[in-house]
């Protein structure tokens, strides 16, 4: 039950927090030290809890480094945008005639701004993602006279290019990037307690990947349910094999795949319409008329089994078991 709650919580957070990264959930035991321990003690998940505590402390200690990295990345982003902005202004200024017709030419340049952006991108080999939104930039230009802009300073552009290609990479190299290095977090291997606040008086421990399952390999292979958020190893049945397709076709904000897009994808399987209706009824178990990432995975896997001439009920049990959804299968 512990790992089912763990996986369900991570899944729920993925719907609420709009980030591409998987939200990390830490498990912990919060029994106060001053209270008498309960009579019944379960040791099955002791190492899991201790490892989670070590990971939490390690991540807490990495907050200053991560904050500094975010600041540097933000500076790099703003520097790239400033460089593109300078090229745009310089290009528009250089396109104006020397004496007559400046206002007319400036108006024509603003109206055909996408074409001018493409010219600048090709001429200076600039990434398109650094360019501003066309309509917003048009509105900003409406309050200025292009003829009053300064000409492009090649010296300043060279300084910006040097900062982006030399200075910022040197700065980034000062931050440790090897997550496999030993991390001194003040909790030795095998310990199940955290001594609050003491980090430097214990020997360093070797970082290990977060434990997504407290079961041994033998127990996991014989378990009726699989944790869908397990380690990303090739061939693991709990992996979301259609994650890339879902992210490509789904709403990036709501993280949902609409009925029309799902119909188009599922129809490519070549299965009869009646079978696809059954697949949809199984996958859309909450009757929202759209699929989240796990529901889409269920639908695609059911289509795989049906294409192999397998029985729908047997395919349903196997798919739900692989994805750790047996409780939902048994309740349906």
* 1 contact partners, CB below 8 Å, separation of at least 6: none
Q: How confident is the model at residue 266, as a pLDDT?
A: 93
Q: How confident is the model at residue 197, as a pLDDT?
A: 39
User: Which tokens hold the place of 266?
Assistant: 């599922």
Question: Across the chain, which distance is largest between two alpha carbons, in Å?
Answer: 94
Q: How confident is the model at residue 34, as a pLDDT?
A: 58
Q: Which residues of the chain have pLDDT under 70?
A: 31-42, 176-239, 326-332
Note the pLDDT tens digit of each residue in 40-99: 566 777 788 888 889 999 989 888 888 888 898 899 999 999 999 999 988 888 888 877
Q: How confident is the model at residue 36, as a pLDDT?
A: 60
Start-end of CATH 1.10.268.20 domains in the chain: 66-173
* 38 contact partners, CB below 8 Å, separation of at least 6: 31
Q: How confident is the model at residue 331, as a pLDDT?
A: 53
Q: How confident is the model at residue 39, as a pLDDT?
A: 57
Question: What DSSP element (H or E) covers 291?
Answer: strand 290-291
Let me know: does 106 contact 146? Beta carbons within 8 Å: yes
Start-end of CATH 1.10.238 domains in the chain: 243-331
- Strand partners of residue 290: 258
Q: How confident is the model at residue 279, as a pLDDT?
A: 93
- Of the options 3.40.50.300, 3.40.367.20, 3.40.30.120, 1.10.268.20, the CATH number for the domain spanning 66-173: 1.10.268.20
Burial label for 152, CB within 10 Å (0-12, 13-18, 19+), is: middle
- Of the options 3.40.50, 2.60.40, 1.20.140, 1.10.238, the CATH number for the domain spanning 243-331: 1.10.238
User: Which tokens hold the place of 61?
Assistant: 């200690």
Q: How confident is the model at residue 291, as a pLDDT?
A: 92
Q: How confident is the model at residue 217, as a pLDDT?
A: 34
User: Which tokens hold the place of 261?
Assistant: 């897009």
Instruction: For Cα atoms 37, 193, 204, give the angle at the middle one, nearest 5 degrees.
Output: 165
Question: b vs e for 195-214, b when ≥16 Cβ sit within 10 Å of the residue's Cβ?
Answer: eeeeeeeeeebebeebbbbb
């Amino acid at each position: 039950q512990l790992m089912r709650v763990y996986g369900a919580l991570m899944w729920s957070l993925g719907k609420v927090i709009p980030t591409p990264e998987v939200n990390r959930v830490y498990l912990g035991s919060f029994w106060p030290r001053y209270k008498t321990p309960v009579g019944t003690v379960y040791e099955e998940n002791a190492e899991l809890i201790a490892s989670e505590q070590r990971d939490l402390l390690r991540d807490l200690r990495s907050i200053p480094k991560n904050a500094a990295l975010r600041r540097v990345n933000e500076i790099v982003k703003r520097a790239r945008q400033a460089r593109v902005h300078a090229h745009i202004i310089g290009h528009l200024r250089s396109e104006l005639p020397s004496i007559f017709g400046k206002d007319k030419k400036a108006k024509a340049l603003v109206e055909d701004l996408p074409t001018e952006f493409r010219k600048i991108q090709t001429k200076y080999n600039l990434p398109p993602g650094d360019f501003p939104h066309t309509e917003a930039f048009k509105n900003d230009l409406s309050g200025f006279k292009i003829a009053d802009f300064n000409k492009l300073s090649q010296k300043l552009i060279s300084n910006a290019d040097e900062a982006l290609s030399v200075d910022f990479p040197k700065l980034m190299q000062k931050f440790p990037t090897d997550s496999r290095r030993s991390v001194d977090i003040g909790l030795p291997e095998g310990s199940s307690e955290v001594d609050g606040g003491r980090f430097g008086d214990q020997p360093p421990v070797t970082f290990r990947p977060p434990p997504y399952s407290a079961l041994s390999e033998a127990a996991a292979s014989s378990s009726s349910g699989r944790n869908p958020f397990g380690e990303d190893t090739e061939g693991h049945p709990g992996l979301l094999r259609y994650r890339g397709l879902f992210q490509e076709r789904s709403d990036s904000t709501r993280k949902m795949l609409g009925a029309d897009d799902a119909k188009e994808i599922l129809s490519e399987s070549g299965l009869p319409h009646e079978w696809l209706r059954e697949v949809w009824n199984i996958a859309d178990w909450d009757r929202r008329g759209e699929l989240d990432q796990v529901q889409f995975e269920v639908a695609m896997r059911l289509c795989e089994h049906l294409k192999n001439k397998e029985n729908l009920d047997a395919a349903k049990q196997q798919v739900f078991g692989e994805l750790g959804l047996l409780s939902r299968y048994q309740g349906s």
